[in-house]
Structure 1
Amino acid sequence: MKQKILLPRILCVHGGGSNAAIFHAQTRFIRHALRDHFEFVFVDAPFECDAGPGVLPAFEGCGPYFRWTALKKGEDEGAAAWKVLRRLVEGPGSERIVGLLGFSQGVRAVMGLLLRQQAALYPTARTSPMRLRFAVCAMGGEGHPLRLADMRLDEAIRIPTIHVHGTQDYILPQSKRLLKRNFDQSSVKVLTVDASHHLPKRMDENARLADMMLEAWLSGGGNEAFEGDLFARAQNNCLATTRREETQGVLIECA
């Protein structure tokens, strides 16, 4: 029997007023471009809300909709976000999640995850449950990273990131300020696309984004990710599946 090849996974973090299923549809072009290289995992944010900008009318009736930031004063948005993200990045199968793709408000959660990995929370990098090699920050607005642990939020993010900016995006100035204030400029790359506040739709732009993501993955040693003990662990974990699963706000699309 031919051994199943386990692809590395990218955790996709939707924007405000959306959900995992909607973001799955919105990422169809980049998923298609990378279908032979990655699997994609989607998760619902913790706070229910109204549909966000650009969600209606295309996704009318596709709720409930969620956001990453709290609407009520006193709610701990960092703790709530960590509760839904932790089982994916530190639970069974977490060794397969090697990258992040965040859109709009979801970029704040992505930044929190990157800072959490970057912080000295574990004795050595090898003992950390998270093994993120890169992240895509698409159309992120201003705002501090979500505090997913007792960590500094003023530290520059050094893990390689790709920033997607839309020439017609109404929050483009905010996206540029976000990049400048929160990221080590030596580890960032920018892709400017002909788009408003949505992921790129043109074939050439998605091809370029796919190339940049693969370059970031491979330059970080991605070609060795599932050799030896990591591959054996990935084979045996409960997320090693051959179908699309949808449980508890998590959507996993497998090869």
Structure 2
Amino acid sequence: MSTSSEIPILHPNAVSPGYTKYDIVACVLTFVAAVCVALRFAYRSHKRDYALDDWMALAALVFAVGVLIGTILISIPSIAGAGYHITTYTVAQLDNYLKLALASDVLYNFSVAGSKASIVFFYHRIFSIDYHFRIFMRIILILIVGNCLAAALGLIFSDRPVQAQWNVGMPYTSINDRAFWTSMAVVNIVLDMLILGIAQFKVWKLNMSLRRKVLVSFVFMLGAFTIITSILRIVYLLVVDIADLTYTLTTAGIWTNVEMNLSIICACAPVIYSFVRIKTNGGRSTTARSAGYNMGDSKGIITIGSAKGRIRGRFNDTESEVGLSNSAYHNIDEEDGDSHSLKAMDRIHVFEAQTASLRYHLGDNYEFDFVDGAYLWPAAPGIEEVFGTQQACYSYFDGTAGSALAAVDDLAAYVVENGPFDAVLGFSMGSALAATLLLQPRDGNDKQLALTHDSARNLIYSAIFVCGTLPVDCAELRRGTMTWMDAARAHQKCWPVRVPTVHAWSEQDTGYPGESQQLMRMCVEESRVELLHSAGHGIPSKTDEVAALASSVQQMLSSLRARV
């Protein structure tokens, strides 16, 4: 900072070439960041599923707009005219330059912290079932907040007195500005690397195809561009001449703006990817197919578990978030032997564990999408004894008509977005939810919603109901009433489930006696298969029973493919 009280008036009355470039870069990148945030909220508005990650992205954009305003003001010749050598400024121009530079630097730190926090909260949204991961993310979040406050306070109080930051000629003492800037930039890079690294670690542990892993990994790897720009920013900060700050800081400032806006863009990239998938897949699949099956593009089997008693909440949106699902967060080893028992390597997805033996018998030819509820709910009896008290259990709806209707609509939207599927596999109320969608009302009042449900029904080629319970009357749901349908009511109000079905139920099911048989009678008789097991209201576990169920499923799917 210059301490000269008289500075010759040699400043050109024009925006400097360096700041002309700076202003263009800042305007373009801030506009792109704003579009990305707008697309993010457009995607969330589809289900009104706003969360902290969205609001943090919006906050980061607001601070970035503040930086843009400061950048434009500081380049105007009548205000500060940044970008020229320091000896060409008046004292008033230097005062304005230093004030605006300080304000922009503080806003930059808040914007970058907002982007990082958005990514952390997004990870928390899609990986929330992993307790240790949640703890790690909270630690990262604390570091982000601490780094932001340290940077902002360090900038504001780097000079004593504070007013000396913008009062040229005032006596002052100061910290080592270059060392401070560099250290804060290095901490930002370390945080970015931790955030990016943990995402890659989680993605490559997921139980999904290599192609999907590569795709999801690439989406998260976009954050590496932010690290690259941060490194370039450090390089240019190291060559800044403090004695000629107005001129030599320009290039570093450009890279600072690039880093800030790129952080916002990268934070929104996974959600934008989901938005594009909805528009692309939705656009193709809204046309219902009236005849035959096309199994060539099917994605496997969609599975819906159950929460006994009242279940709550809407679908966890993890599958639409860059193709992830809660089922894939855990490693499970199946041991050879009659029972094909599990050895838990981490906290596991309950329904994934319960169906492990069935999936073992089905072989490696199928990919499973596990659809979860979005909110925590008390574990059903027996779950804690097997999976421990730390196991997180989720559910779909809370017993009210509105939440049940939302769950059915969300399932339809999920299928349209991610389908087609060879089959839907449901247990207990998961079967009820699937059957509610598959039962086509004879009289649909809501034409748009009927189109969505019809499209979803055409993207599910068969169904597997294990200990299925009674579906819900959708027409009554729209009137605000929860009414369970028995076979007689279903035949009166709906067309039978037309896809091939496999029904596995137990005579020892005392929790929902007779409901599986009622559900079976709602399906076309000629294309349904009935199997008995001895597990009561549970997933079959005996080797012969599981093998019989797997054989029936394989025969059903093979017959579907034979029709193509």
TM-score, normalization: structure 2? 0.33
Greater CA deviation, 11-20 or 211-220? 11-20
Q: Counterparts in 2 of 1:26-105, with a 5 A limit?
A: 26-46=354-374, 48-71=376-399, 73=400, 75-83=402-410, 85-86=411-412, 88-91=414-417, 93-95=418-420, 97-105=421-429
Q: Distance in 2 between matches of 1:87 and 1:61?
A: 33
1:113 aligns with 2:437: yes
Q: Distance in 2 between matches of 1:143 and 1:87?
A: 18
* Larger strand fraction of residues: 1
1:209 aligns with 2:500: no
Which residue matches 2:525?
185
Aligned partner (choices 16, 21, 25) of residue 307 of structure 2: 16
Q: Distance in 2 between matches of 1:122 and 1:138?
A: 28
From the superposition, tell whether residues 82 and 48 of structure 1 become closer, same or farther in structure 2 (CA, over 3 Å).
farther
Contact 2:466 2:504 in 1 (8 A): yes
SS at structure 2 position matched to 1:132: coil
Residue 105 (structure 1) shift: 0.9
Q: Distance in 1 between matches of 2:518 and 2:367?
A: 31
Q: Counterparts in 2 of 1:141-152, with a 5 A limit?
A: 141-144=469-472
Q: Identity percentage over the alignment?
A: 25
SS at structure 2 position matched to 1:220: helix
Structure of larger gyration radius: 2
Unaligned runs of 5+ in 1: 225-255
* Larger helix fraction of residues: 2
From the superposition, tell whether residues 146 and 23 of structure 1 become closer, same or farther in structure 2 (CA, over 3 Å).
farther
Contact 1:14 1:106 in 2 (8 A): yes
From the superposition, tell whether residues 143 and 109 of structure 1 become closer, same or farther in structure 2 (CA, over 3 Å).
closer
From the superposition, tell whether residues 129 and 135 of structure 1 become closer, same or farther in structure 2 (CA, over 3 Å).
closer
From the superposition, tell whether residues 61 and 116 of structure 1 become closer, same or farther in structure 2 (CA, over 3 Å).
farther
From the superposition, tell whether residues 145 and 22 of structure 1 become closer, same or farther in structure 2 (CA, over 3 Å).
farther
Q: Deviations over 1:88-139 (max 9, x none)?
A: 4111x423x220110011111111232369989559x9x7684222111111
Unaligned runs of 5+ in 2: 1-209, 212-296, 312-325, 328-348, 479-488
Which residue matches 1:198?
538
The ranges of structure 1 where at least 4 consecutive aligned residues each deviate by more than 6 angstroms after the TM superposition are: 117-120
Greater CA deviation, 40-49 or 199-208? 40-49
Residue 37 (structure 1) shift: 2.2
Which residue matches 1:157?
497
Number of residue pairs the alignment of both structures matches: 213
SS at structure 2 position matched to 1:16: coil
1:168 aligns with 2:508: yes
Q: Distance in 2 between matches of 1:145 and 1:208?
A: 32
Contact 1:8 1:39 in 2 (8 A): yes
Q: Deviations over 1:43-65 (max 9, x none)?
A: 11245421123323212334432
Contact 1:141 1:175 in 2 (8 A): yes
From the superposition, tell whether residues 145 and 162 of structure 1 become closer, same or farther in structure 2 (CA, over 3 Å).
farther
1:138 aligns with 2:478: no
Q: Distance in 1 between matches of 2:363 and 2:404?
A: 33
* Amino acid aligned to 2:433: A
Contact 1:108 1:144 in 2 (8 A): yes
Q: Distance in 2 between matches of 1:213 and 1:66?
A: 27
TM-score, normalization: structure 1? 0.69
Contact 2:413 2:456 in 1 (8 A): no
Greater CA deviation, 59-68 or 186-195? 59-68
Contact 1:7 1:39 in 2 (8 A): no
From the superposition, tell whether residues 206 and 143 of structure 1 become closer, same or farther in structure 2 (CA, over 3 Å).
same
